[in-house]
């Protein structure tokens, strides 16, 4: 039976949003913490290379979700194509000018973007597990999503995956989803876009969290939900992320950082151990959002 053609917007000057879902062909829940961390890292890398904006994601034990917006080819300049080529292959790689249109098409291709993500992760997973063969099941699914309220509803559906699976009681407790990434990392490296067409909601603002918690409290057959007690607690707090709560989510910096403290302390520590960092670029201390005056530097293994 022939494949149904994928619905991809090709109109000039029009960005298009898609909900992407892809599942593994393996039994059980083969993706653990290490695999989920690596898949997020790979998605971040290729999202910087391709002409996409990521609104939301969720990495589960046997599948992943992405909510992205893809730019059309006529919105990408020649210089931007060259810049993305060098992000992919390195600054020293010669850019083949005769293939400029080919690379423009590639960097604006939903299929090429997802293919690169899945292939890179397959190599990592198979090497880590000392296995060969297919990792992913059927080709990925993609749903064309209307901008505005529909996009928000889809984002909430994605952010609630871990709650519905009974893994966490609050969506931001799960670090491998968009709201967890926003809250726990402060949207590190500006990976996720907040430009979702409804600025009054925002990506992790009070209004979005209120909608998310009420949606998550709705009971669904065979699925877990946000408890009434948790919903009441959030309601009492006005669905705001207080400084104390933000601090609780940021405590991972005390174990995940290489150096942490005031900016002066981190800079001095970096100068002392500069030769340990395998990079030619200077490392810049990053503020720990939600904790005034505190900065951190990545571990040596991440540098």
* Same-domain status, 206 and 244: yes
My answer on whether 282 and 245 are in the same domain is: no
Same domain assignment for residues 87 and 151:
no
Domain match, 13 and 115 both: yes
Residues 24 and 109 grouped into a single domain: yes
* Percent above pLDDT 90 for the chain: 57
Domain span holding position 217: 147-173+197-250
User: Does residue 62 fall inside a structural domain?
Assistant: yes
| pLDDT of res. 37 | 93
CA gap 116, 137 in Å, rounded: 16
Structural domain count, the chain: 3
CATH label of the domain that carries residue 102: 3.30.70.1290
202 lies in some domain: yes
Asked if the structure places residue 187 within a domain, the reply is no
Asked if residue 211 is part of any domain, the answer here is: yes
Flag whether 35 is in a domain. Answer: yes
Quick check: is 185 in a domain?
Answer: no
Is residue 182 included in any domain, yes or no? no
Sheet with 63-70, strands from edge to edge, namely 52-59, 63-70, 16-23, 141-145
| Domain presence at residue 190 | no
Q: Are residues 164 and 279 in the same domain?
A: no
Do residues 84 and 32 both lie within one domain?
A: yes
* Same domain membership, residue 263 and residue 214: no
Whether residue 48 sits in one domain with residue 26: yes
**Within this chain, do residues 156 and 267 fall inside the same structural domain, yes or no?**
no
**Are residues 41 and 122 located together in one domain of the fold?**
yes
Same domain, yes or no: 168 and 225: yes
303 residues of the chain, pLDDT tens digit each: 445 555 666 666 788 899 999 999 999 999 999 999 999 999 999 999 999 999 999 999 999 999 999 999 999 999 999 999 999 999 999 999 999 999 999 999 999 999 999 999 999 999 999 999 899 998 899 899 988 888 888 999 999 999 999 999 999 999 999 999 988 888 888 899 877 654 444 556 788 889 999 999 999 888 999 999 999 988 988 888 766 666 666 666 665 667 778 888 888 888 887 777 666 677 788 877 656 677 887 654 444
């Amino acid at each position: 039976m022939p494949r149904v053609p994928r619905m991809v917007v090709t109109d000039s000057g029009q960005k298009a949003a898609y909900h992407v879902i892809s599942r593994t062909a393996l039994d059980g829940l083969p993706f653990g913490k290490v695999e989920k961390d690596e898949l997020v890292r790979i998605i971040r890398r290729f999202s910087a290379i391709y002409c996409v904006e990521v609104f939301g994601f969720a990495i589960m034990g046997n599948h992943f979700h992405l909510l992205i917006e893809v730019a059309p080819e006529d919105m990408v300049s020649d210089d931007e194509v060259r810049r993305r080529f060098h992000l992919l292959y390195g600054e020293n790689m010669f850019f083949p000018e005769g293939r400029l249109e080919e690379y423009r098409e590639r960097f604006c291709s939903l299929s090429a973007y997802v293919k690169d993500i899945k292939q890179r992760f397959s190599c990592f997973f198979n090497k880590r597990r000392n296995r060969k063969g297919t990792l992913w099941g059927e080709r990925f699914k993609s749903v064309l999503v209307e901008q505005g309220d529909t996009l928000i509803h889809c984002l909430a559906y994605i952010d609630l995956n871990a709650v519905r699976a009974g893994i966490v009681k609050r969506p931001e407790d799960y670090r491998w989803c968009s709201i967890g990434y926003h809250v726990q990392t402060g949207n590190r490296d500006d990976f996720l876009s907040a430009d979702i067409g409804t600025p009054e909601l925002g990506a992790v603002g009070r209004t979005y969290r209120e909608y998310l918690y009420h949606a998550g409290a709705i009971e669904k057959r065979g699925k877990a939900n946000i408890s009434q007690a948790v919903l009441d607690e959030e309601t009492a707090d006005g669905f705001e992320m207080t400084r104390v709560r933000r601090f609780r989510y940021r405590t991972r910096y005390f174990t995940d950082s290489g150096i942490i403290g005031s900016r002066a302390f981190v800079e001095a520590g970096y100068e002392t151990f500069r030769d340990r960092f395998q990079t030619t670029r200077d490392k810049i201390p990053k503020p720990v959002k939600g904790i005034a005056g505190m900065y951190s530097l990545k571990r040596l293994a991440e540098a």
